[in-house]
Structure 1
Amino acid sequence: MSKKTPRARAVTMKDVAHHAGVSRTAVSLVLNDRYDVTLAQDTRQRVLSAAAELGYRPNAGARALAQQRSDWYGLVTEIVTAPFAVDVIKGAQDRAMTDSKYLLIASTESDPAAETAAIERLLEQRVEGLIYAATWHRGVTVPEIAREVPTVLVNCFDIEGRYPAVVPDERVGGYRATERLLSADHRRIGFINLDPGIPAAIGRREGYLSALREAGIEPDETLEVTGHATADGGFASAEQLLDLPEPPTAIFCANDRMAMGAYDAIKERGLRIPHDVAVIGFDNQELIAGYLRPGLTTVALPFEQMGARGVDLLAAITAGESTATKIVTVDCPLLERSSV
């Protein structure tokens, strides 16, 4: 059995002081960027050179304890391997790094006990604030312990209204999808919605109805169906729409999975997309929208931008600004492919 390589002893301020030939106090002043105490420039340079030669690394925990700040934000989310969660993390981390901040990430898998435990561990690391992110837009109950530091919600909102939040502008996304179909001269536009009651279903439907009315088209209830967010539901709903005495010439699906099912229903009838029936999705799930043939025109959920805006809000709060219950909506852009 091979022996483990012993871990090298960490270089201390005392080691740096001995190497530079100065006092430990002088080393502390230099390495903590203290300029409020007069110190010769030559001394400062000797300390910095010694620290570099020895490979000195500051003790982040001790520095955070002394300064009551750590330059870390905590990010709590359900499943960090979900594609959308990765985009939230990227947006938050990229934005944080512009202010020399970093993320500590904790996965909770939708378990309230795990959420509380994860936040507790992040607080033990003296994070300056928390990003609490959800994989789908909904109201949430945030563990009480999160109130100990500034906290911002991303892709969700606090049911009790205690925290600021960043959410997608579902209504504008629904409006934009419908308006795109109207601009292609479609007047009978079917809508396959998500399960009723959730924010995405409510907002996307409001946008759909608003765009129709602005175009002078009275909404037709027979053109609205529910696809339960699945490909099978999209297939069945598209069949229902296509069986109407006057079927739609375009279908707006409230997510890309349902659009995938709608594609199959349309093609099984020998119809062509977009020549006979145009289709628009929502979410921009790359493994679906980018690989359907023809490519699916869809509305993107701005996960990366929401992560960045969440950090912006958190930075504002930690700087002393009052954003206690502010709700920020982020635009959902239309991505053109070939289905309209």
Structure 2
Amino acid sequence: MVTMKDIAAHCGVSISAVSLVLNDQHEGRVSVETAARIRQATEDLGYLPNLAARGLRTRQTRTLGLLSDGVASVPFSGQMLAGAQSKAWKEGYVLLLVDMAGNPDMEGPAVRSLLQRSVEGLIVAVDYHREVDLPRLPRPVPQVILGGRPRRGNADWVVPDERAGARAATLHLIDAGHRRIAFCNLIAPAFAIAESLRREGYESALAEAGLGLDESLVVEASEPNASAAREPARRLLRRSDRPTAVFCFSDRLALGFYQVAAELGLQIPRDLSIVGFDNQQNFAENLFPGLTTVQLPHYRMGVRAAEKAIARLQDGGDGPTGHFVSCPLVIRDSVAAPSGRTPKKLTAHR
């Protein structure tokens, strides 16, 4: 390993001169020409500074820890990690990742491992919007929950604005001329927060447009997959007064409606318009026709979480805060005006 002593010998200068240059404290103490020779020597000889030793001196390691509860193993939500990594790197921080792969027994050892490496802040990432129990830390560091919110405790949090996203999806169908708009929700305890927020957004859009809520148009799937949506879809689409459009809790549930529409001889979007939620990678765009859907902004959520962690380290600030990241509407080909109606110009609502 190349040391500062090697650099000094190579350049014919003292070790203290090398140290001053490498720590940017040489102005007025080491000539410009000598400083340039020292920097060139570090490149030529492959010198790498000992950041751990520097961290002991400055008490700053510029390292963030990220504890992932299964997020790293799922490409769909893994974009959160990419966003956090990108922002941390841009601000001069390194992100250390440990993924628990859904194994809660790993939490204690994972946290200790990160803290032993002197992380200054901790981001806890989860794969869907839920309440999170903060990990117990042997020493206090700022924490940010990414993708969920703390059940209790002192931590900032970053989540998708699912209520606003569902509202935008429903208003998009209303703008297309639809008045009988069904909603297929997911009823599963793990997704209780998302279920509530997405239904609130649906109802809010109906009220905003002066449309009453017809409870008979609200159906539920018991599992987050297409097969669980097929029976609710049949009940809706076999009605003599069937809806002309449906907003689905997720892209997976929307697939169930695609399948039942084909089974009943209905064409999308001529006979039935459909909007999903999630914009699941390599899924929504590959349905035929392409599914109009609401995007979960995983990358931007990761960026925001890293921003919050770094801001806590640099500025401190008041008590913990939450941040909702907007969910954009991704318009494809699954929405059209119902028969006999002329739509407004279709727009992506915020």
**Residues 1:166 and 2:158 are matched in the alignment:** yes
* 8 Å CA contact retained: 1:130, 1:146: no
Aligned position for 2:265: 270
- What is the SS of the residue equivalent to 2:171? helix
Pair 1:60 & 2:47 matched: no
Q: Which of 148, 151, 169 is the aligned partner of 2:140? A: 148
Q: Which residue of 2 aligns with 1:259?
A: 254
Q: Does residue 198 of structure 2 align to residue 207 of structure 1?
A: no
- Name the aligned partner's letter for residue 26 of structure 1: A
Query: Aligned pair count?
Result: 331
Cα deviation, residue 55, structure 1: 1.1
Partner amino acid, structure 2, of 1:302: P
Give the CA deviation at 1:59.
1.3
| CA distance in 1: counterparts of 2:254 and 2:85, whole angstroms | 32
Work out the CA distance in 2 between the residues paired with 1:286 and 1:66: 45
Asked whether the 8 Å contact 1:281–1:296 carries over to 2, the reply is: yes
Aligned counterpart, 2:291: 296
In structure 2, what is the equivalent of residue 17 of structure 1? 8
SS of residue paired to 2:265: coil
Which digits, 9 at most, give the CA deviation of each residue in 1:267-290, with x for residues without a partner? 100001011111100000122201
1:1-340 to 2 correspondence within 5 Å?
10-35=1-26, 38-79=29-70, 80-145=72-137, 148-195=140-187, 198-227=192-221, 228-340=223-335
Q: Provide the C-alpha distance between the structure 1 equivalents of 2:291 and 2:266, rounded to a whole number of angstroms.
A: 16
Cα distance in 2 for partners of 1:178, 1:147 equals 46
**Structure 1 position 182, deviation (Å):** 0.6
Per the TM alignment, residue 123 of structure 1 is displaced from its structure 2 partner at its CA by: 1.5
Letter in 2 for 1:200: A
1:186-210: per-residue Cα shift (whole Å, max 9, x none)? 1111111122561111100000001
CA distance in 2, matches of 1:320, 1:302: 26
CA distance in 2, matches of 1:88, 1:148: 24
Aligned to 2:343: none
Structure 1 match to 2:340: none
Paired AA for residue 273 in structure 2: A
Q: Distance in 2 between matches of 1:49 and 1:181?
A: 63
Indicate if the aligned counterparts of 2:159 and 2:325 stay in contact, CA closer than 8 A. Answer: yes
Per-residue CA distance 1:15-58 (angstroms, 9 max, x = gap): 11211222222222211222477333343233223222211111
Measured in 1, the distance between the counterparts of 2:143 and 2:75 equals 23
Q: Is the 8 A contact 1:112 1:143 kept in 2?
A: no
Instruction: State how far apart, in whole Å, the 2-side matches of 1:189 and 1:209 are.
Output: 10
Identity over the aligned pairs, expressed in percent?
42
Structure 1 match to 2:342: none
CA contact (8 A) 2:295 2:328 kept: yes
Distance in structure 2 (CA, Å) of the matches to 1:288 and 1:261 = 13
In 2, Cα distance between equivalents of 1:37 and 1:153: 46
TM-score, normalised to structure 1, is 0.93
Contact 2:17 2:26 in 1 (8 A): no
2:41 alignment partner AA: A
